[in-house]
Amino acid sequence: RTLDDLGDVTGKVALVRVDLNLPMQDGHVTDVTRVKASMPTILELADKGAKVLLLAHFGRPKGDRNSTMSLSLVQGAVENVLGREVMFIPEVSGEVAAQAIGILRPGDIGLLENTRFWKGEEKNDPDFAKAIAANADLYVNDAFSAAHRAHATTEGLAHLLPAYAGRAMQAELEALDRALGAPEKPVAAVVGGAKVSTKLAVLEHLVGQVDHLIIGGGMANTFLAARGVDVGKSLCEHDLAATAEKIMDAADKAGCTVHLPYDVVVAKEFAANPPSLRTCNVHEVAADEMVFDVGAQAVEALGDVLKTCRTLVWNGPLGAFETQPFDAATVALARTAAALTKEGSLISVAGGGDTVAALNHAGVADDFTYISTAGGAFLEWMEGRELPGVAALEK
Ligand code: 3PG
């Protein structure tokens, strides 16, 4: 059920689970993307006359009140994005919360304290959830990025109150379904990042789902090593060579083509524009060199692969993109994907913290069909796992 299924909500108390786990530096919020994502849901409910209560976690305080993780710290940022006043309520349940909620008028917005200040949140304690639900009439989950957690406010509440998917949740689920649920074929996946070990389950799942699996980043070194390539001093999980082999065998059987770089950008030290920088064939990496990016020829070939595809799912950069010029492959392939998306020949979905940063860096994030704000939840979805927060809404 979505907000389209709401009846009259005038004066009703709507608990809206959002993701306010926002990046902070020196006490200031540095990125409000997640607030912007939930703005349509919050304003829609407020404009329909509900009393909107925002419910979210912040950091990992593990059941202790910790002033450095109070949601009061993000109240100003939320108000700025929404352009409305937001009343901070330093509790999530009980008398104090009930009194504060009583003061709210239809259309007002309240922000409850960090749900993880109470142990019941992560334990998914039904009593904790019941105490929160006692002050409310309905529950809206708009936090896909927290839906991989079976916590009281991401999962438990959906069983206690009439539950709805918010607009951001709805958009996310529709986009993800278009990408892997019922995608237009052929489908390509780009999986990058430093380590195979963090994305094993993703790779294992994807080989049975996609037609082309493009592996980049440090994890490509492990696959190259498994194929007998000497990657010099590169980051490489040699102990996972057999696992990489297995993934490549499974891909073969499933008719999925695995693309590994055949030229690479190498250097003897990791620094911006190092003097030892060069591009070479993967078989020519010297013993004292490290691979930091996919080479230009391979990127061009990968662009040609994308031209044959209808759907793209992207997680993880192709190189050490934060340091120049090791951003080149990620930027080039992202621009090709963005151009194909603009032409209408590709549906492109990307997610994961680094990935969004990399696509922003390439200046193409707005041109992708959909960019997920989720980190861990996006990965678990790519692993083909059921997300408890989503499953509870579907029940
Ligand atoms: C995130 O930032 O990815 C989500 O808010 C989940 O946070 P968590 O990993 O602390 O559960």
| CATH number reported for the structural domain that contains residue 64 in this entry | 3.40.50.1260
What pLDDT shows up at residue 373? 83
Same domain, 129 and 201: no
Distance from Cα 317 to the centre of ligand 1, integer Å: 20
ipTM over 0.95: yes
Let me know: does 243 contact 236? Beta carbons within 8 Å: no
- Residues pairing with 87 in the sheet: 110
- How many domains is the chain built from? 2
Name 125's Cβ contacts closer than 8 Å, sequence gap at least 6: 119, 152, 156
Pocket test for ligand 1, best of 32, 145, 356 (most atoms within 8 A of CB): 145
Confirm or deny that 167 is annotated as ligand binding. Answer: no
Report in angstroms the alpha-carbon separations of 291 from 75, 78, 149, 287, 361: 43, 42, 36, 11, 21
Same domain, 142 and 253: no
Let me know: does 35 contact 78? Beta carbons within 8 Å: yes
Confirm or deny that 353 is annotated as ligand binding. Answer: yes
Pocket test for ligand 1, best of 31, 32, 57, 154 (most atoms within 8 A of CB): 57
pTM: 0.92
* Closest C-alpha residue for ligand 1 atom 4: 146
Convert the pLDDT of each residue in 269-312 to its tens digit. Answer: 999 999 999 999 999 999 999 999 999 999 999 999 999 999 99
Query: Does residue 60 line the site of ligand 1, with CB under 6 A?
Result: yes
User: What confidence tier does 77 reach under pLDDT thresholds 50, 70, 90?
Assistant: very high
User: What confidence tier does 144 reach under pLDDT thresholds 50, 70, 90?
Assistant: very high
Cα 210 from Cα 189, distance rounded (Å): 7
Q: Which pairing describes strands 163-165 and 187-191: parallel, antiparallel, or unpaired?
A: unpaired
What pLDDT shows up at residue 352? 85
Distance from Cα 220 to the centre of ligand 1, integer Å: 27
Same domain, 294 and 151: no
> Phi-psi category of 347—alpha, beta or left, where left has phi over 0 and alpha has psi -120 to 50?
beta
Q: Which domain holds residue 262?
A: 183-382
Same domain, 161 and 226: no
Kindly report the three-state secondary structure assignment for every residue of the chain: CEHHHCCCCCCCEEEEECCCCCCEECCEECCCHHHHHHHHHHHHHHHCCCEEEEECCCCCCCCCCCHHHCHHHHHHHHHHHHCCCEEEECCCCHHHHHHHHHHCCCCCEEEECCHHHCHHHHCCCHHHHHHHHCCCCEEEECCHHHCCCCCCCCCHHHHCCCEEECHHHHHHHHHHHHHHHCCCCCEEEEECCCCHHHCHHHHHHHCCCCCEEEECCHHHHHHHHHCCCCCCCCCCCHHHHHHHHHHHHHHHHHCCEEECCCEEEEECCCCCCCCCCEEEEHHHCCCCCEEEEECHHHHHHHHHHHHCCCEEEEECCCCCCCCCCCCHHHHHHHHHHHHHHHHCCCEEEECCHHHHHHHHHHCCHHHCCEECCCCHHHHHHHCCCCCHHHHHHHC
Measured from the Cβ of residue 300, the count of other Cβ atoms closer than 10 Å reads 13
Distance from Cα 63 to the centre of ligand 1, integer Å: 15
Same domain, 187 and 59: no
Convert the pLDDT of each residue in 150-200 to its tens digit. Answer: 999 999 999 999 999 999 999 999 999 989 888 999 999 999 998 889 899
- Residue 334 belongs to some domain of the structure: yes
- Residue 178 belongs to some domain of the structure: no
Same domain, 58 and 187: no
Report in angstroms the alpha-carbon separations of 340 from 286, 294, 354, 365, 366: 36, 21, 22, 13, 13
Same domain, 161 and 197: no
Same domain, 58 and 162: yes
Q: What integer best gives the mean pLDDT of the chain?
A: 96
Beta sheet of 263-267, edge-to-edge order:
278-281, 263-267, 290-294
